[in-house]
Chains A and B, each alone.
Chain A
């Protein structure tokens, strides 16, 4: 950010007049329309889903620990992979980012709350019902969905009673996301404090602004795709059934037209968080603020014209393969700009390495490694070898775990003192960082080797030449999974008490949220701050 921001009137003065705290008890959380409460609900829900999805992943790694089948049968293994992905994507990563948006967007643009508070309540409270619907399939005859989170027909239509439950859960998640996105767009467009012009907004706000448009554009496409699955399954339509004149590949085109923007929905807010953390701990303004905004917008645009790179092997015309190869390679340019800008922000700064910064630095390195394997996957002839192998699994876990999730971890440590008013335990935070960072690489880096050596993804058992790296990967997975209990403990400890955090919290902090007390009062910016 290139401007200096000051809250002209002190919050301490007017808060006393307007202070009405939250009601006590459970009703506070059920009926709340307060952006801070809803942000907290989103973040805690995401943490719960992270633990559930993580437990499923550890089940997967347990079965893959050695060749042969020891713990689960192949069908249940497929249920584990499918539900792990659905829960992590829609239950952990996306709600966590919406939680950040709820807490931070009003504080960062100087708004008293989100623009549509009742809708905000609704968009959160849909989630627990959606995941109850989805999770209940585990207890049904025939079990949970087992065709992969991508739900490709015809396989997904072989599912038993779980199909409508999965589809309606997706519809509800879509509604929740769209409402959340509309709320964010309206808040950013209408409720910025005087003087907060678009190009003065913090980068986190910008990346969420762009993400919200991706959500509004992409989620209805997904809803359409799964609705066609529903009618194919129960009402004898043939959208995706070749025998009835349909086309199974059509589903994949529609799905990935949603699916690729979805990838950026899960990474753009991460870019925003990292772009807040790195300047703070480098004690230096973000390098190339405007080019960061334009790069985010370019990535968002490109995300709508690269979808078929997820399905190079379906047999497309040469011209289509070339188009999607070129457009995909092009994404490397704005993404590279972002990485170069982060490194330039650090360059000749005055860096310190508290836990949020450690996660941000790990993000830059490990997300870039995920970007590199993404570039390799963009090369269509080589993709024919990588496609549907563990190389792809390694790739998207580098961008989603060490990318999105690490940015979430960094953001939690960064803003937790502001939210709770307490400093977290720095040495436990560092333990969490080092345990996570080492184990996550032991977990996912060998999966590159497995994929290149020819191990397909989504298999419960494998040939013995894949045994060694699988065992290494599983050991890393167990350590990574258990390390997250440390995060739960740190968060619990920080909410309960701890050293009082100052208003500014971090020495190099810039932005409106740091002008407020820690924790901020229940209602903030009731009178708009003035931004110069």
Chain B
């Protein structure tokens, strides 16, 4: 209930602000966390809104009291200072009440966290390896693998006109294709330095660390193209190794796997060492 109200209110506020802004770049004045396309990302969004509104309410109370003081209890208005400097009741109250609020936040946060960390019973496993500065994807069950790096269209526009390119810095040469409605487990690792694999719409981010394997999972519910970026400083081209996920129906995914396997060039590319 709370989350529904908050979502509505946030959307309303965002709409108001974008309406005030010029029409040309509407989406660019985004204010809030977007809701993703996985069940987890919706839980995360609800948690985000819950804690945001708690902060807003506390802020209104505290800053309100301060504002009243500033207006009424000023020397210029002739207000004489009181001399109290202690109240055991108040101090117990404002220790206990915040503690209770925190417990109320911790309960849903704990439940979501437990769900996030449960990578068991996945339908599909993708091994993701971070390199300076591209990604490698290996479909463990389906035997497909390839590298994915920044699209030339974006790379050529870095010193040119970024506005002329579609999806500037968020386009890759080969996207990660995934089926919708399946539990996909991602195994994250890296070859050189630490990277972080993050697609905001999937509601999860985790580091890809050389020598170690991390796990996350996602069930994508809507077909579409979802874009993300490396989120851990990994050297000079850290800002230039995007991630693109294309979520399609299971049928189309199977067709894609078959077509990719048939494509000899792709398989060759997968076994050729990186030269970047």
Contacts and interface: CB of A to CB of B under 8 A. Distances in A.
A521 interface: no
B91 interface: yes
B158 A284 contact: no
A364 B62 CA distance: 10
Given A333-B99, A384-B44, 4 more contacts: A78-B233, A242-B211, A243-B210, A388-B231
B62 A459 contact: no
B62 A343 contact: yes
A69 B237 CA distance: 12
Interface in A243-288: 243, 247-249, 282-288
A248 B211 contact: yes
B66 to A, nearest CB: 5
Interface of B: 21, 25, 27-34, 40, 43-44, 47-48, 51-52, 55, 58-59, 62-63, 65-66, 69-70, 73-76, 79-87, 90-91, 94-95, 98-99, 102, 105-106, 109-110, 112-114, 116-117, 157-163, 167-170, 188, 192-194, 196, 198, 200, 203-207, 209-212, 214-215, 228-240
A346 B64 CA distance: 12
B33 A385 contact: yes
Given A242-B211, A384-B203, A388-B231, A333 B55 contact: no
A469 B17 CA distance: 13
Given A365-B63, A375-B55, A67 B85 contact: no
A15 interface: no
A522 interface: no
B105 A456 contact: no
Q: Which 6 A-B pairs have the closest CB atoms?
A: A242-B211, A459-B239, A315-B214, A372-B55, A350-B81, A67-B162
A90 B160 CA distance: 38
Contacts of A361: 66, 70
Given A147-B233, A369-B59, A385-B200, A453 B34 contact: yes
Given A350-B80, A372-B59, A379-B51, A283 B112 contact: no
Interface residues of A, number: 91
A313 B196 contact: yes
Given A74-B236, A155-B235, A288-B86, A382 B47 contact: yes
Interface string A339-383: 110011111111111000000010011001100100110011110
9 contacts: A67-B169, A332-B102, A340-B62, A381-B40, A384-B205, A452-B32, A456-B230, A456-B238, A463-B168
Which of A347, A381, A382 has the most C-beta atoms of chain B within 10 angstroms of its own C-beta?
A381
Contacts of B70: 346, 351, 353, 361
A333 B94 CA distance: 8
A155 B162 contact: no
A415 B214 CA distance: 52
Contacts of B99: 333
A289 interface: yes
A333 B28 contact: no
Contacts of B73: 282, 346-351
